[in-house]
Amino acid sequence: MASSHPEIPRAETSPTPTSAPLPPETPVACYLVTQTDGQVTQGPTTLPLSELGPGEVLVEVAWSSVNYKDAMVTQPGNRVARRSPLVPGVDLAGRVLQSDDPGITPGTAVVVHGYDLGVAHHGGFAALARVPASWVVALPAGLDPRAAMVVGTAGFTAAMSVDALERVGLEPARGPVLVTGASGGVGSMAVAMLARRGYRVVASSGKTQERAWLEALGASEVIGRDDLEPNPGRVLGPGRFAAAVDCVGGRTLALVLRDLAYGGAVAASGLTGGAELATTVYPFITRGVSLLGIDTVATDRARRQQIWARIADPADLRPGDLERFVDREVGLGELDEALQDVLAARVRGRVLVRPSR
């Protein structure tokens, strides 16, 4: 059962008074991606404050993070970016500098992710971000902006996946839970959160060198990507898993569906292994399995608050030492390499971005 959090204690608000409005020409350090005729140029630069876009709340971005989607917007011809030029960064956390919304006070520690952020509206790879008030979530007690970005959209996705599986009846006694793409952001967070909840976690990763790290996060067993195919050519596998958290999609998701036990479910969030899904109806009609779609982007604020409260709670989903997930910290000048590394699956866990670095 998902725990409920009727009252969400908030992180401490600093006593910072509202600062005087900044002049519109104030230069804002950022990382900009420009698409012209199928060619992409990208790199650190500045934008005037007046070009940050509409919104009631100006946030001083203390931390952002690199998510797979940020790397997607740098690919020529991608259909993810909805404007050019674009400051990517689907994630940000920091303190409110100025607010025209009576419900959001300057100094409040906040997290903003999803919606149009970093896709159709300038995102978190900048020292300042202006966003609509409805996108802003006050951080719960126990999470500061850096911790919130270690978790980030990836951890939020993992938490939503666990929450979705538990809503359809998953509990530790049902059996092992598979996590695919386990060395990445969504995957590693899912491993740790499921272990925290008492599940036996089987982590699937193409990176054999990460076995010890995944076990330290809570995996009971680490299997390779190819270990998902013990019965090639058969429409049903042995039904080894009670449930799965899948951020890989494509052929991997088809193999996961085949290997779910009777009544099992998979929470599907990603496409690093491909967007196509070629499967049969047999897992659905013979084992009653469920395919649960996970979308964090349009999730409303009340639901975000519930999920962030679960993530902040050490007795619930909060993974132990968050530093274990940090691959590295980068500044705007080091983002080129970090984005390439995400695309090439050379990242373990999470890359943090400090725009002021």
Ligand X SMILES: C=CC(=O)SCCNC(=O)CCNC(=O)[C@H](O)C(C)(C)COP(=O)(O)OP(=O)(O)OC[C@H]1O[C@@H](n2cnc3c(N)ncnc32)[C@H](O)[C@@H]1OP(=O)(O)O
Q: Provide the binding-site residues for ligand X, judged by CB under 6 A.
A: 67-69, 79-80, 90, 153, 271, 297
Q: Which is nearer to ligand NAI, 99 or 296 (CB)?
A: 296
- 3-state DSSP percent of the chain in helix, strand and coil, to 5: 30, 25, 45
Q: Which is nearer to ligand NAI, 252 or 290 (CB)?
A: 252
State how far the Cα of 195 lies from the Cα of 187, in Å rounded to an integer: 12
Q: Which does 174 bind (CB under 5 to 8 A by kind): ligand NAI, ligand X, none?
A: none
Q: Which is nearer to ligand X, 195 or 267 (CB)?
A: 267
Q: Which is nearer to ligand X, 223 or 271 (CB)?
A: 271
Q: How far is the CB of 301 from ligand NAI (least distance, A)?
A: 16
Q: How far is the CB of 181 from ligand NAI (least distance, A)?
A: 3
Q: Which does 80 bind (CB under 5 to 8 A by kind): ligand NAI, ligand X, none?
A: ligand X
Q: How far is the CB of 100 from ligand NAI (least distance, A)?
A: 29
Binding test (CB under 6 A) with ligand NAI, winner from 248, 256, 260, 332: 248
Binding test (CB under 6 A) with ligand NAI, winner from 106, 176, 185, 319: 185
Q: How far is the CB of 16 from ligand NAI (least distance, A)?
A: 31
Q: How far is the CB of 143 from ligand NAI (least distance, A)?
A: 18
Strands 57-66 and 91-99: antiparallel
Q: Give me the half-sphere count of Cα atoms (radius 13 Å) on the Cβ side of residue 83.
A: 16
Q: How far is the CB of 160 from ligand X (least distance, A)?
A: 11
Q: Name the one range near ligand NAI by CB under 6 A: 131-139, 164-172, 293-301, 318-326.
A: 293-301
Q: Does 319 bind ligand NAI (CB under 6 A)?
A: no
State how far the Cα of 33 lies from the Cα of 318, in Å rounded to an integer: 34
Q: Are the CB atoms for 339 and 330 separated by under 8 Å?
A: no
Q: Are the CB atoms for 91 and 69 separated by under 8 Å?
A: no
Site for ligand NAI in 326-355 (CB under 6 A): 342, 345, 347
Q: Which residue is associated with the tokens 């132990």?
A: 320
* Contacts of residue 165, Cβ cutoff 8 Å, sequence gap at least 6: 177, 243, 245, 265, 267, 292
Q: Which does 187 bind (CB under 5 to 8 A by kind): ligand X, ligand NAI, none?
A: ligand NAI
- Cα 103 to the chain's mean position, in Å? 26
Q: How far is the CB of 10 from ligand X (least distance, A)?
A: 25
**Edge-to-edge strand ranges of the sheet holding 260-268:** 219-223, 201-204, 177-179, 241-246, 260-268, 290-293
Binding test (CB under 6 A) with ligand NAI, winner from 155, 218, 270, 283: 270
Report the first-to-last Cα separation within the chain, whole angstroms: 42
3-state SS, one letter per residue, for 272-314: CCECCCCCCCHHHHHHCCEEEECCCCCCCHHHHHHHHHHHHCC
Binding test (CB under 6 A) with ligand NAI, winner from 108, 153, 161, 306: 153
- Nearest Cα neighbor of 164 from 239, 249, 245 is 245
Q: Which does 15 bind (CB under 5 to 8 A by kind): ligand X, ligand NAI, none?
A: none
Strands 241-246 and 177-179: parallel
Q: Looking at residue 354, what DSSP letter applies? A: -
Q: Mark 58-77 with x for binding to ligand NAI (rule: CB under 6 A) and - for no binding.
A: ---------xxx--------
Q: Are the CB atoms for 219 and 195 separated by under 8 Å?
A: yes
Q: Which is nearer to ligand X, 137 or 202 (CB)?
A: 137
State how far the Cα of 237 lies from the Cα of 241, in Å rounded to an integer: 10
Using CB under 6 A, list all residues that contact ligand NAI: 67-69, 153-154, 157, 181, 183-187, 206, 225, 247-248, 252, 269-273, 294-297, 342, 345, 347
